[in-house]
Amino acid sequence: MNLSELFLLFICYSFLGWIIEVIFEFVNNGKLINRGFLIGPYCPIYGVGGVIATVTLTSHKDSVIILFVMSMFLFAILEYFTSYLMEKLFKARWWDYSNFRFNINGRICLETLIPFGLLGCLAIYIVNPCLKFLFALANIQTLNIIAVLIAIVFVLDVILSLRIINSFKNTAMCFLKKDNTEEITKKVREVLFNRSVWTRRLVQAFPKAKAVISNINIDFIKTKLELKLTQKELKQTKKELHKKEKEIKKKNKEIERNKKWR
């Protein structure tokens, strides 16, 4: 597969993943919610998983068992590191399996491994052949044009969405007086929900998202804010001294003028 086909494969799996998430949310909570952290109808983690599975697991399609087991571990590793990376970048945990049995740091759990294995087999045996058939209906030039147009929309979506997601981190900083993660998360969600349509969609898409602010982070940010405040006070003091210095110079000039006239 060339680069355009791999990108379109990524988009197709991202869209299919979004459909799975929406259906899952509807079955569990009875609500149709635009899942995923991007504005558009796609979940990139599924797209990345689909592309990696296609590249690395296709050669093992002769053995269903090996393919199933490798899919479980591949997608589990992907989910774990995606959770870790997003938490470090945005100071928020977007999903949490801490209440599930046999979980690892709340990022992955045993209950999701079997669905991961099934999804891997489904991708290799059913979805990929269908997508390859569809790609074959168009020539390379057409696929390249489609890929470029979708890529432009996707990049713009990512840029806008990352700015919105960053609100979780920035908003959490406003509540540093409360050293309780649950209370911080509650306040963050209240502010974000009332801020705009896009931030409201993000809060609804991840109802269990938590602000992640450790005591170390709180102390560090507080120190940083205090330092900024000190610098601000220092600048203000300098301005006041400069102003007084001007006044003194002005008075001295007036005194010298009065002496001359005498």
pLDDT score of 131: 92
Neighbours of 173 (CB within 10 A): 18
Q: Side-chain half-sphere of 165: how many Cα atoms within 13 Å?
A: 22
Whether residue 218 is contained in a domain is answered as: no
pLDDT score of 195: 55
Whether residue 245 is contained in a domain is answered as: no
217 against 131, higher pLDDT: 131
**Residues 5-34, mean pLDDT to the nearest whole number:** 85
The token pair that represents 201 in the structure block: 């969609």
Residue with tokens 């870790």: 84
pLDDT score of 171: 56
Q: Does residue 87 surpass a pLDDT of 70? A: yes
- Report the SS3 class of residue 26: helix
Q: Is 53 exposed, middle or buried (0-12, 13-18, 19+ CB in 10 A)?
A: buried
Domain that holds residue 43: 3-211
161-176 tens-digit pLDDT: 777 666 655 555 554 4
Whether residue 189 is contained in a domain is answered as: yes
Residues 6+ apart with CB under 8 A from 147: 3, 4, 7, 8
- Helix (H) or strand (E) run with residue 210 in it: strand 210-211
181 against 208, higher pLDDT: 208
Q: Does residue 206 surpass a pLDDT of 60? A: no
Whether residue 105 is contained in a domain is answered as: yes
Whether residue 110 is contained in a domain is answered as: yes
Q: Does residue 23 surpass a pLDDT of 80? A: yes
Whether residue 51 is contained in a domain is answered as: yes
94-150 tens-digit pLDDT: 677 888 888 888 888 888 888 889 999 999 999 999 999 999 898 989 999 999 999
The token pair that represents 45 in the structure block: 């983690």
Q: How far apart are CA 213 and CA 91, in angstroms?
A: 7
Q: How far apart are CA 55 and CA 16, in angstroms?
A: 18
Q: How far apart are CA 19 and CA 11, in angstroms?
A: 12
Q: How far apart are CA 52 and CA 14, in angstroms?
A: 13
Neighbours of 123 (CB within 10 A): 25
Q: Does residue 59 surpass a pLDDT of 70? A: yes
Q: Of 102-111, 159-168, 225-234, 239-248, where does mean pLDDT reach its minimum? A: 225-234
Q: What is the mean pLDDT of the chain?
A: 76
Whether residue 255 is contained in a domain is answered as: no
**Residues 177-189, mean pLDDT to the nearest whole number:** 47
Give how many domains the chain has, as a whole number.
Answer: 1
Q: How far apart are CA 215 and CA 104, in angstroms?
A: 22
Q: Does residue 34 surpass a pLDDT of 70? A: no
Q: Does residue 49 surpass a pLDDT of 60? A: yes
pLDDT score of 150: 93
Whether residue 48 is contained in a domain is answered as: yes
